[in-house]
Amino acid sequence: MPPIHTIPGRWRARCALTGVLAAVAVLCGMLPAGARTGLNWLTLPSLPTARYDVASAAAPCPRGQTGSCLYAVGGYNNGNLATVESYNRSSNTWSLLPHLPSARSSLGAAAAPCPDGLSGTCLYALGGSGGSRSVNFFNPAVNSWGSTTSLTTGRAAFGTASAPCPTGQTGTCVYVFGGIGTTVLASAEVFNPVTRSWTTLSPLSAPRYNLGAASAPCPPGQTGTCVYAVGGSDDNNHVVGTVEAYNPVTRSWSKVASLPTPREGLGVAATGCPPGQQGVCLYTTGGANETDVVDTAESYHPASGLWTSLPSLPAPRGYAGAAALPCPPGSTGNCVYFAGGYRDGGPAATLEALDPPVTTGR
């Protein structure tokens, strides 16, 4: 691997920061390697378009298909992309969809109720390269894009996830936090599709960019669903293992056990836990340390506050999209999908899925 400045998320994010202006692993609570039993990585059909700094989410399949699909939105390959593709796990095939209204990378994606009084679930594409404030939504029922209220703060390389709205609001909201705007950000905001409005939230404990995010059960001592902000790099460009959970009920952040392997540009998703644990766990895959992309995979068990070491990716990869949805034919339960990314000095088209055994769902 060439020197660190060629790792895309770090170099391009630093350039953005400069233009406008080794982390310690915490191994406490790490479960033994024996916890790996029963999980394996599946290699699936490659993305039609290789890219990194791509956003992914699980959402209803586009018109003419049924079930849930994996979406790959935007990204970078010799320039910012407007490309949107979906993977149908039932047919094990990819579909090319209408392009984003504007090409961008380092954006966020999440599934939530459609805005503007539309019924059903939409795929949201938020922010991105250049500190974009754009918020677009793809309506699978009609296979078309629309626009809605812009981000309060333009940002790229941030965390985003859908979860229950904060106290005082109802339904499912889209959370956005951290990233890079005119500087590295700690700020957080939430979008309510019903009111089409953004609300400012309490900030992260410190600015971070290239972090991962997902919603999962809250950590020990709390109830309900929380939004997790995982890893990333700080405003000194140091990779960190910090993990914080935002509780929509208390409208506050709390720190939980740090990543055993600090990294940025990692994929994060939530689904059934690995063997020996019950409930829903947070899965972290790939990413980069201070010098290179990595093949690391780990899971966090909110009920116990423990991290588990998982089977490594078949090859190191970072800055990819991640989401959880039903496994492809031949496997049962939900899988954690890891799409595209950066490897071997350039963009990747790889799609792989971690297949945990079936456990209790949410």
| pLDDT tens string 316-330 | 999 999 999 999 988
User: Which pLDDT score, from 0 to 100, does residue 290 have?
Assistant: 94
pLDDT exceeds cutoff 90 at 29: no
Of 84, 80, 86, nearest to 136 by C-alpha is 84
pLDDT exceeds cutoff 50 at 24: no
What type of residue is 281? Answer: C
Cα–Cα distances in angstroms (integers) from residue 56 to residues 34, 53, 290, in the given order: 30, 10, 24
User: Which pLDDT score, from 0 to 100, does residue 117 have?
Assistant: 85
- Taking residue 207's Cβ as centre, other Cβ atoms within 10 Å add up to 19
For residue 256, give the 3-state DSSP assignment: strand
Helices and strands in the chain: count of H runs, count of E runs:
1, 27
**CA torsion, ordered 151, 171, 227, 326, to nearest 10 deg:** -110
User: Which pLDDT score, from 0 to 100, does residue 357 have?
Assistant: 59
Helix ranges (DSSP H) in 163-283? none
Of 205, 208, 59, 191, nearest to 133 by C-alpha is 191
Q: What is the mean pLDDT of residues 65-79?
A: 97
What is the reported pTM?
Answer: 0.91
Structure tokens at 291: 């010098």
Question: For 110, phi and psi rounded to 5 degrees?
Answer: -160, 150
List b or e across 147-181, with b for residues whose CB sees 16 or more CB atoms inside 10 angstroms: ebeebebbbbbbbbbbbbbbeebeebbbbbbbbbb
Domains and CATH numbers, the chain: 4-355 (2.120.10.80)
User: Which pLDDT score, from 0 to 100, does residue 19 have?
Assistant: 42
Contacts of 103 (CB under 8 A, 6+ apart): 74, 79, 80, 81, 82
| pLDDT tens string 294-323 | 999 999 999 999 999 999 999 999 999 999
Given the structure tokens 């080794």, which residue do they identify?
22
> Which 8-state DSSP code applies to residue 10?
H
Residue 98: half-sphere exposure toward Cβ, Cα within 13 Å: 15
Query: Please, which contacts does 70-73 make with residues 24 or more away whose CB atoms are closer than 8 Å?
Result: 70/321, 70/323, 70/325, 70/337, 70/339, 71/97, 71/109, 71/123, 71/138, 71/323, 72/47, 72/321, 72/339, 72/340, 73/100, 73/107, 73/109, 73/123, 73/125, 73/321
| pLDDT tens string 335-361 | 999 999 999 999 999 999 998 754 433
